[in-house]
Amino acid sequence: MGRLTRRAFALAALSAVTTTGAAAAPGRDDGERRATDGRRASSAGPRATAEMRGMWLATVTNRDWPSRTGLTAAAQRAELIAWLDLAVRRRLNTVVFQVRPAADALWPSPYEPWSQVLTGTQGKSPGWDPLGTAVTEAHARGLQLHAWFNPYRVSTQDDPTRLVASHPARRHPGWVVSYGGKLFYNPGLPAVRSFVQDAILDAVKKYPVDAVHFDDYFYPYPVAGQTFDDDAEYDAYGGAFATRAAWRRDNIDTLVREIAARIKSVRPGTQFGISPFGVWRNASTDSRGSDTRALQSYDEIYADSRKWVKEGWIDYVVPQLYWEIGNSAADYAKLVPWWAAVAKGTKTRLYLGEGLYKAGTSGQPAAWGKKDELSKHLTLAKKYPEVRGHMFFGGQDVELDRIGAMTRVIADHYGGPAQPPS
């Protein structure tokens, strides 16, 4: 289905939405009939062995949802519900919904402004509560809703004056670093770390989300010829560390460790998962690393993802293994056993992030032109009991299914519904 098809589907949902009245209070929805239908559908047959079948639904720059800024509240809501229904049709069981794409919010937050992806104007209320509705409607359909937060990205452009005047980044300009044409909160500041956690935990307190989810963006990916300016912060806080890199890694470790504990204190049943870049370190750099020749997240974005798993700070890890089997720099078939070995014996569940967006897309290696490439990934992963499922990026690619790669996965591996691991 293309976007026109999805809009047509959304219009059908919209007619149901508009007949039930306006949105209810934050975190709750008035779709009683849909909730009943969802419970009936989710209990229609026996559930298979638990496995993660997830879909990322990105909102930054309106990648997946909403289809454009400025839609009416009813139209936005209908599109969102259509995405949840798509997940059910594709026999998935989890939607990872991006609710804080850039130091903003898709719920009424006292900490940060409403996201501009909704209305086109940052700070302007859309007239409804997307996160609250998503949680309610997902649960009604037997889906888990994982709330996806980007910790440090402030804006995808680098002019602070384009942020709404009340934005924390404008009230605290010393928190912000301009780098690579974007704005970021500085991870080296304890005040930033505390604020980011408070902003995220506001959503956890308000809504029964099944998980808090981080992606792979911590310190920004390197940009040639540019320097992330944290000299003052390193001088102030980095004295106990041998190198700036070690200090930066500790800043990210501290965020992960602290927010993990705070999530459990606020809502004990809520999981905490991270989807890091798929390569920790290359074996040529570190004997514990993978047989790869790729960017090393440990060294380049200061993300010690292996440590988070080994220490048990996170409930699940979803390395982004967005390469084909046989890739010369980062072979999917070599990375799966490496991550399985990392997760073995830990309490951290291992899921694999799948690059569905590459299937049938021009400019990709030849393997991505074959509809069975992703199905082969799942077949290979079944050899490793540590792998508990997969997540697919992203929503529009699950929908478009350009060459039938997702359809092939469903036919080969998703014969019936499955519960996500608990």
CATH code, domain with 294: 3.20.20.80
Distance CA 182, CA 168 (A): 16
Its pTM stands at: 0.89
> Judging by beta carbons within 10 Å of its beta carbon (0-12, 13-18, 19+), is residue 305 exposed, middle or buried?
buried
- Residue at 159 is within a domain: yes
129: CB partners within 8 A, 6+ apart: 23, 25, 26, 27, 107, 108
Q: What is the pLDDT of residue 46?
A: 45
Q: Is the peptide bond before 394 cis (omega within 30 degrees of 0)?
A: yes
Q: For 142, phi and psi rounded to 5 degrees?
A: 75, 15
CA distance 355 to 288: 25
Would strands 387-392 and 349-354 be described as parallel, antiparallel, or unpaired?
Answer: parallel
**420 lies in some domain:** no
In angstroms, rounded to a whole number, what is the distance separating the alpha carbons of residues 218 and 135?
Answer: 26
314: in domain: yes
Q: What is the mean pLDDT of each run of 10 residues along the chain (422 residues)?
A: 40 35 32 32 51 98 97 98 98 98 98 98 98 98 98 97 97 98 98 98 98 97 97 97 98 98 97 98 98 98 98 98 98 98 98 98 97 98 98 98 98 95 86
What's residue 40's pLDDT?
33
For residue 48, the model assigns a pLDDT of 53
CA–CA distance, 400 with 4 (Å, rounded to integer)? 11
Q: Is residue 76 one of the residues assigned to a domain?
A: yes
Residue 277: name the closest of 349, 211, 333, 330 by CA.
Answer: 330
The pLDDT of residue 422: 80
Q: How many domains does the chain have?
A: 1
User: Which pLDDT belongs to residue 2?
Assistant: 41
Evaluate whether residue 56 is within a structural domain.
yes
- 3-state SS, the chain, equals CCHHHHHHHHHHHHHHHHCCCCCCCCCCCCCHHHHHHHHHHHCCCCCECCCEEEEEECCHHHCCCCCCCCCCHHHHHHHHHHHHHHHHHCCCCEEEEEEECCCCECCCCCCCCECHHHHCCCCCCCCCCHHHHHHHHHHHCCCEEEEEECCCEEECCCCHHHCCCCCHHHHCHHHEEEECCEEEECCCCHHHHHHHHHHHHHHHHHCCCCEEEECCCCCCCCCCCCCCCCHHHHHHHCCCCCCHHHHHHHHHHHHHHHHHHHHHHHCCCCEEEECCECCCCECCCCCCCECCCCCCHHHHCCCCHHHHHHHCCCCEECCEECCCCCCCCCCHHHHHHHHHHHHCCCCCEEEEEECHHHCCCCCCCHHHHCCCHHHHHHHHHCCCCCEEEEEECCHHHHHHCCCCHHHHHHHHHCCCCECCCC
Domain enclosing residue 348, as ranges? 3-413
Tell me whether residue 296 is in a domain: yes
